[in-house]
Amino acid sequence: MAIRERLSGNEAMAVAMRQINPDVVAAFPITPSTEIPQYFSQFVSNGEVDTEFVAVESEHSAMSACIGAAAAGARAMTATSANGLALMWEMLYIAASSRLPITMSCVNRALSGPINIHNDHSDSMGARDSGWIQLYSENNQEAYDNLLQALRIGEHEDVMLPVMVCQDGFITSHAVENIELLEDDKVKGFVGEYEPDHYMMNPKEPIGVGPLDLPAYYFEHKRQQAEAIKRSKKVIMDVAKEYEKLTGRSYGYFEEYKLNDAEIAIVIINSTAGTAKTVVDKLRDNGIKAGLLKIRVFRPFPAEEITAALKNVKAIAVMDKAESFSAVGGPLFTEIKAALYGVADGINIINYIYGLGGRDVRSDDIELVYNALLEIQKTGKTGETYRYVGVRE
C-alpha cells in the first residue's frame, strides 16, 4: 500500500532522495530550493542515509563535486535554483558531455536581474542547450514521481546523461499538498543500484575522464551526445511504463487535458497547468471546445508527438514563463512553432509571456488567453503573435 502524506514540493524531493539513498549529495543553499539539501542534511545527520553530504562553497563547486563523484562511479544528486543554476553553467555542459548521469532538483526561479526570488522558468530554459534531460512537474506528486524516474532514465546505458527535474519555486516547492509516496523498499527496488560500466575508482581499469578534445575528435563526441539524447526518448517511455505498473500513475512526454476534440488549446509548463485546467473545465461547461497540453519532457523535445496531439486544433496559445529576448517570442513558442512547421500548417498560433518574476497568474488571466483564441478562431486572423498577459500596459 502506498503511503498517503502531506508534503511540500521541496519536502517531497528530499524524501525521494532519502529513499534513493544516493552515494553523494553536493549542494549549496539558494532560495527556493534551499530546503531540499536542508531536509536532506537532517536525514544524513540522523543516520537515515549512507550519503556523503558535501557542503560546498558555491553551486559551481556543487556541480563540480557531483561530476567528480559520478566519474568516480557514485550516484550523485544536487538541487538548485536560478542564479545557483547559472553559476553551475559551465559544469552543466561538462557533466552532460562527460556522459555522467547526475540528477538535479531544479526549483524554478527568475534569473536575476533585476534580482528576484520568485518563480518563472528563465533559469532552466537558459540551461536547455546544456545537454541535460529536462522533466517538468505540475505539483509535488509529479516532482516526486519525476525524480524517481530521472535516475532510471539518466543512468540507462543507452542514455548516460544528467537529468534535471523542474518544479515551480514557492508555488509548488513550498505549498503543502497531498501526496502518495512509495514505500522505501519499493523505491529501492525501482531505482536499483548505480553500476556504471566504467568508473575511475575501478583499480582493474584505470581510465581518464574529461580529456582535451581537439578538432579531430570533439565533433564526433557531440554527434554521439546528440544520439544519446535522441535515444533517451524511448527510455523515458519505457521507464514511465514500468513506473505506472508500480504506482498506477501514468506519464508521457506531455499530458493532454481535454485535447482530443479541442478547437482551441494552450501549451503550458509546470504549475500554471493546474490553474488552466480549471479554466478549461469552465469553458467546457459553456460548450467551448477548449483543451490543454502540458509539457513534461522539454529536453529531448518531443516534436513529432506534440504535432500529432495538436494537429486538429484551430488556434493555439503557447505560454512561456520565460523571455528569450529573441524579439519574436519565448523558448517554448519557437520550439512548438518549429515542430508544427511543414507538418501541421494552417494552425493559428500565438505566444504569451506570463508570470515573470513570480507575477501571480489567475484563472482570469488564462481565460483572457482562451478568449483571444476564440476571437482568432472566429476571425481567422492571428494578429500580433508575441503577446503578454499580466503585465501593466
Q: Which residues of this chain interact with another protein, rule CB under 8 A?
A: 97-100, 157-160, 197-198, 205-211, 213, 216-217, 219-221, 223-224, 227-228
Report the residue number, 188 or 231, with the smaller CB distance to another protein: 231
Report the residue number, 199 or 386, with the smaller CB distance to another protein: 199
- Cα–Cα distance measured from residue 233 to residue 246, given in angstroms and rounded to the nearest whole number: 20
Instruction: Give the shortest CB-229-to-another protein separation in angstroms.
Output: 13
Report the residue number, 227 or 242, with the smaller CB distance to another protein: 227
CA quadruple 355, 294, 128, 63: dihedral positive or negative? positive
Q: Which helix (H) or strand (E) holds 315?
A: strand 315-320
**Residues paired with 265 in a beta bridge:** 291, 316
CA quadruple 301, 306, 308, 311: dihedral positive or negative? negative
Measured in degrees and rounded to the nearest 5, phi and psi for residue 51 equal -65, 140
Sequence letter at residue 367 = E
Report the residue number, 225 or 275, with the smaller CB distance to another protein: 225
Q: Which helix (H) or strand (E) holds 374?
A: helix 363-379
Instruction: Give the shortest CB-88-to-another protein separation in angstroms.
Output: 18
Instruction: Give the shortest CB-220-to-another protein separation in angstroms.
Output: 4
Instruction: Give the shortest CB-253-to-another protein separation in angstroms.
Output: 23
Spatial CA neighbour of 266 closest among 129, 371, 384: 371
Report the residue number, 75 or 321, with the smaller CB distance to another protein: 75
Spatial CA neighbour of 58 closest among 87, 24, 98, 81: 87
Instruction: Give the shortest CB-330-to-another protein separation in angstroms.
Output: 32
Instruction: Give the shortest CB-217-to-another protein separation in angstroms.
Output: 6
Chain centroid, CA 117 distance in Å: 19
Q: Find out whether 123 and 82 touch, Cβ atoms under 8 Å.
A: yes
Report the residue number, 158 or 323, with the smaller CB distance to another protein: 158
